Copies of this chain bind each other. A is one copy, B any other.
Amino acid sequence: MIAGPDELQRAVEATLFASETPMSVEALAAHLGGAELSEVRIALRELAANYAPHGIHLVERAKRWHFETAPDLAHLLRREREQVRRLSRAATEVLAIIAYHEPVSRAEIESIRGVQTAKGTLDVLLEAGWARVAGRREVPGRPVIYATTPEFLEHFGLDSRRDLPGIDELRATGLLDPVDDAFDALMGPDEDHDGAKEQETASDLKQMDDHQAD
């Protein structure tokens, strides 16, 4: 039925390619309309030799043949793609609290932030490699405590945690201004009436700060 060995090779090649499972020599021969087993074996061996330098190999495993990716190219099947993402504001705050107060438990972080902290927020910091679990506090409940990592210092260009500016310095640079104030200063006047009113209050407050700073 199949003329020359080349034709048989082509047929074997196409059949194994389209097959959903590896095939034995017998199954191949049957599929090809009763080709000689010995000829199918020869065709397989010649094909395998021809494919050897290729990115695809024809291999026999447990008496069944199939195509697979060349082992040295297996990394192409699983690629890692790096995605750059900015830390959320919540995560940034939690990271800052850990940096300023380490070691610190989640309950302490929440009490400093004044809001609950989602589980995922700490996970992100652990994943980023900036925070680590630094043991447990020996108090009832033995809560996990968190600290920063050397990678944290490296990423933020700090020699040590002491390089972080103190509260007084923060105040001097306006970083202790209430959030609304700082936000309004950045965003310009609000559009709705309530916003404008808030801004008034905030600027009064700012004057007060200026006064105190004198």
Contacts and interface: CB of A to CB of B under 8 A. Distances in A.
Interface of A: 1, 4-6, 9-15, 17-18, 31-33, 50, 53-56, 67, 69-70, 73, 76-77, 79
A32 B81 CA distance: 11
Work out how many copies of this chain go into the complex.
2
A17 B70 CA distance: 11
A70 B5 contact: no
Contacts of A10: 53-55, 70, 73
Nearest to A81: B30
B31 A67 contact: no
Given A11-B73, A31-B76, A76-B31, A55 B17 contact: yes
Given A10-B70, A70-B10, A15 B76 contact: yes
A87 B190 CA distance: 62
Given A12-B55, A17-B55, A54-B10, A76 B32 contact: yes
